[in-house]
Amino acid sequence: MSGVWVLGERREQTLELLNAGLGLARELGTTVTAFAIQDQGLAKTYIECGADTVYLLGSLAPEQPLEDYVPVIVDVARQKNPDIFLISATPRGKEMAARIAARLGVGLGSECTRLRLDENKSLVMERLMFGGAAVQTVVCLTRPQMATIPPRTFEPAVPLANREGEIIELPAPPAGKVRVLERKPRVQESVDITEARVVVAIGRGVEKQEDIELIQELANVAGGELGCTRPIAEELHWLPENRYLGISGQKIKPDLYIGVGVSGQIQHISGIRDAKVICAINKDENAPIFEAADYGIVGDLYAVVPQLTRELQRVLKK
């Protein structure tokens, strides 16, 4: 067995997985191996931050997708038999993990948010199911025990003193069948919704895009940022995608969350579970959001929001 392996799509995610991997390896009395993508400097960083071995993946041609690394990674995994293999749950990471697991004929825990070892030193993974209504605990019966881990689940590993490790270069993968035609990087948004102290989220109860202004005023007075439900971002495209909250979107921990015209389906609630206070405005008294709220206001948002904004203005003297 060759210990705990980690593969992150980018530096930040690799460091987070390294941190998780180092904890497991300590308990198992084994080593940690990381993959570095095309960059010798990164390989050195990973060693400084605790990796014993780094596999340096060879360069891809511009038209090759990241997933072309799958066969190369599967080859080393077959030779070295890792005990645990953690992969970052970015979209590309999730595809690669599933394909690696299929080729190795092993189980894979998807988007695991907690990891621990049981008395037999097997990896116990916790993940959400039913849109976040339940926590499923799974154990792999095959080796390597594989899991994908959402970004920011663990703190990044930090540089340690006097680190030494081995960098092993792997061959550049041959071109697969898939060709990349174009990459359009996402326009970086200036706000990080996960950092906001107050988040006012809009749902489909808001009828028109212009009406967002009304909610924006509330957010301004409350000193918060606008968030939304998945359909507002993905179907209506009223707000950027990194503003939607939920199991497949952002997970936030603000002091205050105010849901405006949000029904509160479990997939959305999963993203706001850790808010200190949850407030909801919905005209349907049976909307599920009221079950998840501390303060629920039953009423038409078009009447309630202006009142709430005014009242906040008054008490906060804004």
Partner 1 sequence: MPRIITCYKWVKDEADIKVDTSSRQLTLDRVGYKISDYDRNAIEEAVRMQEQHGGSVIAVTVGPPSAKQSLKDALSRGPEEAYFINDPSFAELEPAQTAAILAAVIKGRLEYDLIICGEGSSDLYAQQVGPRLAELLGIPCATYVNKLALEGTRINVERKLDDGIEKISLPLPALVTVLPDINTPRLPGLKQVLAAGKKPVHNIGLKDLGLTCEVTLNTTGILAATMERRRLRFGAGNEDIRKVVDALLKEGVIA
Ligand X SMILES: Cc1cc2nc3c(=O)[nH]c(=O)nc-3n(C[C@H](O)[C@H](O)[C@H](O)COP(=O)(O)OP(=O)(O)OC[C@H]3O[C@@H](n4cnc5c(N)ncnc54)[C@H](O)[C@@H]3O)c2cc1C
Using CB under 6 A as the binding rule, the residues of this chain from 63 to 92 that contact ligand X are: none
Find out whether the peptide bond into 144 is cis, omega within 30 degrees of 0. Answer: yes
Q: Residue 36: which of ligand X, partner 1, none does it interact with, CB under 5 to 8 A by kind?
A: none
Q: Which of 24, 265, 275, 308 binds ligand X (CB under 6 A)?
A: 265
Asked if 227 and 254 touch (Cβ cutoff 8 Å), the reply is no
Residue 282 engages ligand X in binding (rule: CB under 6 A): yes
Note whether 302 binds ligand X by CB under 6 A: yes
Q: Which helix (H) or strand (E) holds 228?
A: strand 225-228
Interactions with ligand X, residue window 237-256 (CB under 6 A):
244-249
Q: How far is the CB of 109 from partner 1 (least distance, A)?
A: 7
Nearer to partner 1, 48 or 126 (CB): 126
Strands 53-57 and 84-88: unpaired
d(CA 214, CA 196): 19
CB of 161 to partner 1, least distance (A): 33
Residue among 1 and 102 whose Cβ is closer to partner 1: 102
Residues in the chain: 318
d(CA 220, CA 318): 10
Instruction: By CB under 6 A, tell whether 291 contacts ligand X.
Output: no
**Collapsed DSSP state (helix, strand, coil) of residue 129:** strand
Task: State the minimum distance, in angstroms, from the CB of residue 54 to partner 1.
Answer: 23
Query: Which residues 112-171 are close enough to bind ligand X by CB under 6 A?
Result: 131
Which of 15, 17, 301, 308 touches ligand X by CB under 6 A? 301
Using rule CB under 6 A, residue 263 touches ligand X = yes
- Supply the DSSP string of 6-48, one letter for each residue: EE-SSHHHHHHHHHHHHHHHHHHT--EEEEEES-HHHHHHHHH
Q: Which is nearer to partner 1, 21 or 144 (CB)?
A: 144
Query: Nearest-CA neighbor of 18 among 159, 184, 216?
Result: 159
CB atoms within 10 A of CB 284: 12
What are the C-alpha distances in Å from 146 to residues 21, 140, 230? Answer: 12, 7, 29
254/271 with CB nearer ligand X: 271
* Range in contact with ligand X (rule: CB under 6 A) among 80-88, 116-124, 135-143, 266-274: 266-274
Report the alpha-carbon distance of residue 227 to residue 225 in Å, rounded: 7
Of residues 195-214, those binding ligand X (CB under 6 A): 203-205
Q: Quick one: what does residue 130 bind among partner 1, ligand X, none, with the CB cut-off 5 to 8 Å set by partner type?
A: partner 1
Question: Which one of ligand X, partner 1, none interacts with residue 23, CB within 5 to 8 A by kind?
Answer: none
Residue 23 or residue 107: which is nearer to partner 1 going by CB?
A: 107
Whole-number Å distance between alpha carbons of 117 and 172: 35
70-80 and 91-104 helices, crossing angle to 10° = 50
For residue 117, list its beta bridge partners: 123
The residue among 274, 221, 222 whose CA lies nearest residue 245 is 274
> Which C-beta is closer to partner 1: that of 167 or that of 242?
242
Site string for ligand X, 218-237 (x = CB under 6 A): -----------xxxx-----
Footprint on this chain of ligand X (rule: CB under 6 A): 131, 203-205, 229-232, 244-249, 261-263, 265, 267-268, 271, 281-284, 287, 300-302
